[in-house]
């Protein structure tokens, strides 16, 4: 093509016409969007399916449920609340839902102490729960609290440097304690000299920084001997300070700290103390749990099978992991030096029958070789929170925990197999650059010829 003044003028005119046509097209689309509306919903948040844990919860509810949604009829939340409740009604037809216009019924707003538009009041068997921001996790959690006839206390020790279930520091367990309160559990701190509550309670031990007073050790012994449930989150130096409790629960500590040789590959952090677990064995305490859990400086546990406890490995490492007794910064498996090769148990679930023939009961205990996984700094990683909640559910109530209530919707997570990650990484790092180079070479070759 010969370039002259006329061809330059035509190219400028072509560019001007293209810009003008593009602007006219945008204006036309904007005008059409004001006159016509079209939408589609591809998210699971408003799909017809509830999570499996919510469906199991609805099956346990005996009797009708009433829901009052306080939202104006022209509010965008009205349709959202209606479709959300309809998902529950599909599995439990005796759920009665009534939408209340707060502007037209100020008396009901006052009676139910409604603070803002979009609140949902749930009533079941004479009890009431309030959901200020309706969503499946919050509604299911409210129904679960209503389903419990009596409150189940959770007690923990204080006064010896233990991690607090109501503390705000990074190493404390305050965030996990807040979730327990949302699930209907009551938290009580036991100071030295206090006694256990009269009603059945779950005792949570997080490892003291200082030696226990004799009366504290006697209290824990009494709790275990009388059939109390126990969640022990092993902390530093528990092996020596709480050796008596390990003997009572019929297990021993494996020397060293469990290391993850693929920490940098899996987590992008060169810290072998970080342990990733995602293959959970079949156990009622882990029913419905998926995803990976993250642990820090976890200890391996070995059941002795010398007493009447029925012990099940709850969290198992892979063959690639081992218990390192030497250099944790640069670990190397050396069994002659005392290292123990995997798989190793970093969590044990135990139960035994107690009581007499007229009043048989089951005592349950769980020991996890790490307390950091439920700390404020780590509880939000992976399935750590769901794991902690489902363990407490099983220990306190003797039934599987509905960990799925707090889980993100399926369309908010991406799960890739190793092959899929390999294809994705290879495509992004090799295939796409190679394609760009091929196109560039083709354009260069074409221009070179002409």
Tell me how crowded residue 23 is: count the other CB atoms within 10 A of its CB.
Answer: 10
Sign of CA dihedral 350, 345, 347, 316: negative
Q: Are residues 196 and 86 in the same domain?
A: no
290 lies in some domain: yes
Same domain, 205 and 275: yes
Specify the 3-state DSSP secondary structure of 76. helix
Question: Exposure of 402 by Cβ count < 10 A (0-12 exposed, 13-18 middle, 19+ buried)?
Answer: buried
Q: How far is residue 218's CA from residue 228's CA, in Å, rounded to a whole number? A: 14
Which among 362, 361, 337 has a CA at the least distance from the CA of 349? 362
Q: Where among 391, 408, 425 does a domain terminate?
A: 408
Q: List the CATH number of the domain containing 57.
A: 3.40.30.10
The verdict on 157 and 214 lying in the same domain is yes
Tokens 């003028």 found at: 9
One domain for residues 251 and 328? yes
- Please check whether residue 125 lies inside any domain of the structure: yes
Distances (CA, A) of 185 to 145, 324, 406: 9, 38, 16
> How high is the pLDDT of residue 45?
47
Q: Which of 393, 408, 423 is the last residue of a domain?
A: 408
Overall number of domains in the chain: 2
Residue 267, in any domain of the structure: yes
Query: Does one domain contain both 219 and 368?
Result: yes
Check residue 38 and give its pLDDT. 63
Which pLDDT tens digits describe the chain residue by residue (450 residues)? 567 787 788 888 888 999 999 999 999 988 887 777 665 555 544 445 787 778 888 888 888 999 999 999 888 888 888 989 999 998 999 999 999 998 888 888 888 888 888 899 999 988 888 888 888 888 888 887 787 655 578 899 988 888 999 988 999 999 999 888 877 788 888 888 888 777 667 899 988 888 888 888 899 998 998 888 999 999 888 888 899 999 999 899 999 999 988 887 777 788 888 898 888 888 888 877 878 899 999 999 999 887 788 888 889 998 889 999 988 888 888 888 888 998 999 999 998 888 777 777 888 999 999 999 999 999 988 889 989 988 988 888 775 555 444 444 445 556 666 677 777 777 777 888 888 889 888 888 888 776
Q: What's the pLDDT score for residue 408?
A: 46
Task: Return the H-helix or E-strand segment holding 310.
Answer: strand 310-316
Residue 220 shares a structural domain with residue 139:
no
CB 309 within 8 A of CB 338: no
Confirm whether 3 is domain-assigned: no
Q: What is the CATH number of the domain that holds 209?
A: 3.40.50
Q: What is the pTM of this model?
A: 0.66
Let me know: does 370 contact 295? Beta carbons within 8 Å: yes
- Residues contacting 404, CB < 8 A, separation 6+: 51, 52, 53, 54, 288, 386
Q: Is 388 exposed, middle or buried (0-12, 13-18, 19+ CB in 10 A)?
A: buried
Q: What is the pLDDT of residue 46?
A: 47
Instruction: Kindly state whether residues 266 and 361 are assigned to the same domain.
Output: yes
Same domain as 140, residue 172: no
Burial of residue 445 (number of CB atoms within 10 Å: 0-12, 13-18, 19+): exposed
Name the residue range of residue 59's domain: 51-146
272 in any annotated domain: yes
Residues 236 and 342 both lie in one domain? yes
Residue 9 lies in a domain: no
Q: Are residues 139 and 173 in the same domain?
A: no
Residue 356 tokens, joined: 């007499």
| Residue 14 placed within a domain | no
Q: Do 342 and 290 fall within a single domain?
A: yes
Task: Look at residues 146, 181, 215 and tell me which one is the last residue of a structural domain.
Answer: 146
Q: Do 180 and 120 fall within a single domain?
A: no
Query: Does any domain span residue 39?
Result: no
DSSP character string of 142-202: HHHHHH-SS-EEEEEE-SSSPPPTT--STTS-HHHHHHHHHTTEEEEEE-TT----SS--E
The rounded Cα 188 to chain-centroid distance in angstroms is: 23
């Amino acid at each position: 093509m010969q370039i002259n003044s006329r061809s330059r003028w035509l190219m400028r005119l072509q560019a001007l016409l293209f810009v003008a046509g593009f602007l006219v097209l945008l204006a036309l689309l904007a005008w059409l969007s004001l006159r016509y509306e079209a939408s589609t919903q591809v998210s699971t948040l408003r799909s017809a399916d509830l999570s499996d844990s919510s469906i199991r919860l609805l099956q346990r509810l005996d009797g009708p449920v009433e829901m009052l949604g306080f939202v104006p009829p022209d509010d965008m939340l009205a349709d959202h609340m209606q479709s959300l409740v309809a998902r529950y009604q599909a599995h439990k037809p005796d759920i009665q839902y009534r939408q209340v216009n707060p502007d037209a019924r100020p008396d009901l707003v006052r009676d139910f102490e409604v603070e803002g538009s979009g609140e949902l009041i749930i009533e079941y068997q004479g009890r009431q729960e309030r959901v200020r921001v309706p969503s499946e996790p919050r509604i299911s959690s409210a129904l679960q609290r209503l389903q419990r006839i009596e409150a189940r206390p959770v007690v923990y020790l204080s006064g010896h440097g233990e991690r607090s279930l109501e503390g705000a520091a990074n190493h404390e367990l305050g965030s996990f304690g807040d979730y327990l309160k949302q699930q209907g559990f009551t938290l009580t701190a036991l100071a030295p000299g206090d006694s256990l509550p009269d009603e059945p309670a779950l005792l949570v031990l997080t490892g003291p920084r200082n030696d226990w007073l004799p009366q504290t050790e006697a209290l824990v012994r009494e709790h275990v001997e009388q059939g109390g449930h126990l969640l022990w989150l092993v902390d530093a130096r528990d092996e020596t300070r709480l050796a008596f409790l390990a003997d009572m629960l019929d297990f021993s500590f494996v020397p060293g700290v469990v290391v993850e040789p693929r920490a940098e590959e899996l987590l992008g952090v060169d810290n072998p103390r970080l342990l990733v677990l995602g293959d959970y064995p079949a156990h009622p305490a882990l029913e419905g749990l998926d995803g990976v859990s993250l642990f820090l400086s976890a200890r391996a546990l070995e059941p002795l099978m010398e007493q009447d406890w029925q012990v099940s490995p709850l969290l198992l490492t892979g063959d690639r992991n081992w218990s390192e007794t030497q250099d944790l910064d640069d670990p190397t498996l050396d069994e002659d030096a005392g290292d123990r090769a995997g798989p190793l148990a970093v969590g044990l679930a135990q139960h035994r029958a107690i009581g007499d023939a007229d009043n048989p009961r089951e005592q349950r205990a769980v020991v996890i070789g790490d307390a950091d996984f439920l700390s404020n700094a780590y509880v939000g990683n992976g399935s750590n929170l769901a794991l902690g909640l489902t363990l407490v559910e099983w220990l306190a109530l003797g039934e599987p925990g509905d960990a799925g209530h707090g889980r993100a919707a399926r369309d908010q997570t991406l799960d890739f197999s190793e092959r899929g990650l390999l294809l994705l990484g290879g495509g992004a790092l090799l295939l796409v650059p190679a394609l760009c180079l091929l196109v560039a070479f083709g354009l260069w070759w074409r221009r070179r010829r002409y």
